[in-house]
A and B are shown apart, each in its own frame.
Chain A
Amino acid sequence: MDKFEKLTGIAAPLPLVNVDTDMIIPKQFLKTIKRTGLGVNLFDEMRYDEQGNEIADFVLNQPAYRQAEILIAGENFGCGSSREHAPWAIRDFGIRCIVAPGFADIFFNNCFKNGILPVVLPQEQVDILMKDAEKGANARMIVDLETQTITTSDGVEIGFDVDPFRKHCLLEGLDDIGLTLEKAPAIAGFEARMAQERPWI
C-alpha cells in the first residue's frame, strides 16, 4: 500500500449529507474484477448526464477542482453498500483525504486499506474547511498525518484525531494481512482450543 505522510493539495467542497456509496460509484461499474480504472466514473450519475456529457456545475467538473486531492463533505459520508469500489474510485481519481463530520463504518475502514485518510471533525471545523475549499484552486490545504493537523490556505491550523494503529499503518504503508500473519501461532492456538470447546463450527 502507498504511504500517506503529508499532502498539499486542492480541496473540493461537497456539502451534501448522507452521500452513499451508490452515488460515489454506481452499480454498473461494480462489474470489474480489477481495483483500478474507476476514477473516471467517480460520482458518475452526478458528474455526467445520460449522454455521458459532463455536467458543468458538478464540483469535480469545475476547472478549479479537477485536480482535487482532498474532499470536504457532509455528515454520514459513505453510507450504504460495503463496496470497496467507492474508495478505489476516489483513490483512482486522485483524492487521498476526505474530511467530514462523520463517516459510515464500513467505508471508513475501507479508506485506510487503500491509503486514503478519512478525517472526522466537528461540524464547525468542517464548515471552516468548506469555506476555504470554496475559494477554488488557489486554496491549497496541507494535511499532515504525522502532526495530525490540517492547515487552510489562510494558515488556520486544525488538529484531528486518528487511531494510532491506523496512523502507523498509513505512515508506513503497511499491509494488514502481513501483520496478521505474524500472529499465525495465536490463530492456530485459538483454532485448537475451539476444536475442543465448539467442535460444531
Chain B
Amino acid sequence: MTGKTLYDKIWDAHLVDQAEDGTCLLYIDRHLVHEVTSPQAFEGLRMSGRKVHAPDKTIAVPDHNVPTTEGRENTANMTEESRIQVEALDRNAREFGIHYYPVTDIRQGIVHIVGPEQGWTLPGMTVVCGDSHTATHGAFGALAHGIGTSEVEHVLATQTLIQKKSKNMKVEITGQLPPYVTAKDITLAVIGLTGTAGGTGYVIEYCGQAIRDLSMEGRMTVCNMAIEGGARAGLIAPDEKTFAYVMGRPHAPKGAQWEAALSWWKTLKSDDDAHWDKVVTIRAEDIAPVVTWGTSPEDVLPITGQVPDPSEFQGGKVEAARRSLDYMGLTPGMKLTDIKVDAVFIGSCTNGRIEDLRAAADILRGRKLAPGVRGMVVPGSGLVRAQAEEEGLDTVFKQAGFEWRLAGCSMCLGMNPDQLAPGERCAATSNRNFEGRMGRGGRTHLMSPVMAAAAAVTGHLTDVREFVAETV
C-alpha cells in the first residue's frame, strides 16, 4: 500500500461522510469571518431560522473595509457603505454569539494574520474563510482554503463543507536562498513557472530545505499566494518551528492537551512513499528577487529582466499580455529597473507581519522616500503595529516619509479610501496586480518588502542586492 500525503492525512481525519460518487462532507475546525463576504450568509441563516452550529469555532474580524486612519472607532468616520457592512458584522457577531475582534480591540487586524496570532490556527486543522487568501494558514500544516458566501452560510449552519478531493502536488525548493531573496520571491517564482492556472485542481505541499529554513512568517507568505497559482490550498508540514510559534498563544492547547496535540501533530507529514500527481522542483539558488510587470500574478520576471514582448507568448496569452502592457503603460524591451514608481505600499496578509516590517525598515533606516513618491505602511494587525512601535520601526518609517497606519487590508484591495489614482504606479508587497485592484486605473508591481523599500528610496524598481552593495 502506498503511503499518504499530509493532505490525505488531514482530509481523512475530517471526513464525516462520503457518498458513492466521491462527494464528501468534511468537518471544519475553524471558520474565520470578515465583513465583506458574510452579510448575505448571516441573512440567509436568519431567513431560514437557522443558528450558527458551532459559535465557539467561528471567529469574526472586520478588515477589508475599515479605515486605517485614527479615529475610526467612531463609525461616523467611515464611508456610508463601509459603515453598513462593519455594523452588520458587529450585529451578526453579537446575535449569533461568535468570537469577535472589533476595530477598538488591539487584536483586530487582517483575518489571516489574526488567526495564527491568536492561536486559532493549529496544525492538522481544517480552516475556511470567505476569502481566497485563507491558504495562508496552510503554513501550519492546516488544510485551509477560501470559500464563497453560500459556503460560508453552509459552514455556519452545519460546521461542514461539501467537497471533492483535490490532487496532490509537491513543490520542492531545494538548497538555500541567496541574500535578499525572500519567501515572497519563492512564491512568485513558483507562480511564474506554473502559471495562475497551474495549481487548479491541486493542493500544493511546499517542502525542501529552503522552505524548512523559512520562519513561520515566511512560510505564511509562501502559502498565502498558493491561490494565485490556482491551487485549492498550500500546505507546509509542521515542525519544531511551528510548535514553538503556536505554544503559549491565547487559543493554543495547554498542559496535558498540549502534549496530546503535539504527539498527533508530529505525525503530520507526507510518507516517503506517498503518491504525487505532480512534482515541481526549483533550486533556491536560481531564484532572484522578482517583480511583476503585468496584470496577472504569473507575469513575473527577475528584476534583472526586461519588459517582454507580447509576441513571445502563445495562445490567448498574447492578447492578454498586450492588454496588460497597455494597462500598465509599459513598452516591450524596457529594463524593469527603469520603471518609475509613484507610490509604495507595505502591508497585506502576504507581507504585513512583523518580520516583513523589520526587513523593510532595515533598508529604510536613515534613508528617505524619493522625491514625489508617497509611501504607506499598514501593519497586518494591532499587535504587529504595537510590536513594531516597541522596536522603533514606526520611527524609521515616519522619518523616511512613510505614513504609519492602523491595521487592515487597506490598499491591497482599495475598498476603503486607501487607493491609487488612475495611472499611478505602485510597488506593493500585496498579492494581486489585477486591473483596478488598488484603485481604478492604478498600476501594481508585486514584490517583497525589501524590494519595495529599495524602490521607495530610488523612485524606480530596483535590485535590492545592488542597492545594498552600493549604499553601504
Contact = CB atoms under 8 A, between A and B. Distances in A.
Interface string B226-251: 00001010000000000000000000
Nearest to B261: A200
A17 B318 CA distance: 10
B165 interface: no
B50 interface: yes
A53 interface: no
A105 B39 CA distance: 22
Nearest to B324: A18
Contacts of B132: 80-82, 106
A187 B317 contact: no
Interface string B15-57: 0110101010101010000001101100100001010010001
B188 interface: no
Given A22-B435, A31-B85, A80-B432, A183 B16 contact: yes
A198 B264 contact: yes
A17 B434 contact: no
A45 B438 CA distance: 13
Contacts of B323: 16
A35 B261 CA distance: 41
Contacts of B296: 18, 20
B257 A75 contact: no
A30 interface: yes
- Chain B interface size, as a band, is 35 or more
A165 B40 contact: no
Contacts of A27: 413-415, 437
A48 to B, nearest CB: 11
A161 B297 CA distance: 30
B150 A114 contact: yes
B320 A17 contact: yes
Given A17-B317, A30-B415, A110 B25 contact: no
A113 B436 contact: no
A83 B130 CA distance: 8
Contact of B440 (A15, A45, A106, A123): A45
Interface string A117-129: 0000001000000
Contacts of A31: 36, 65, 81-82, 84-85, 415
A34 B47 CA distance: 13
Interface in A91-132: 102-106, 109-110, 113-114, 123
- Chain A interface size, as a band, is 35 or more
A183 B84 CA distance: 35
Contacts of B151: 109-110, 113
A75 to B, nearest CB: 6
A106 B316 contact: no
A194 B43 CA distance: 30
Max count, chain A CB within 10 A of own CB: residue among B40, B150, B317:
B150
Interface string A128-142: 000000000000000
Max count, chain B CB within 10 A of own CB: residue among A22, A34, A201:
A201
Contacts of A32: 81
B158 A80 contact: no
Contacts of B253: 200
B200 interface: yes
Interface string B103-146: 00000000000000000001011000011100000000000011
A83 B148 CA distance: 6
A15 to B, nearest CB: 7
B154 interface: yes
Interface in A64-103: 74-76, 79-84, 87, 102-103
A-B pairs with lowest CB-CB distance, top 5? A200-B253, A31-B81, A113-B150, A33-B39, A17-B316
Given A16-B319, A82-B146, 9 more contacts: A15-B319, A17-B319, A22-B432, A74-B320, A79-B196, A84-B40, A103-B200, A180-B25, A200-B122
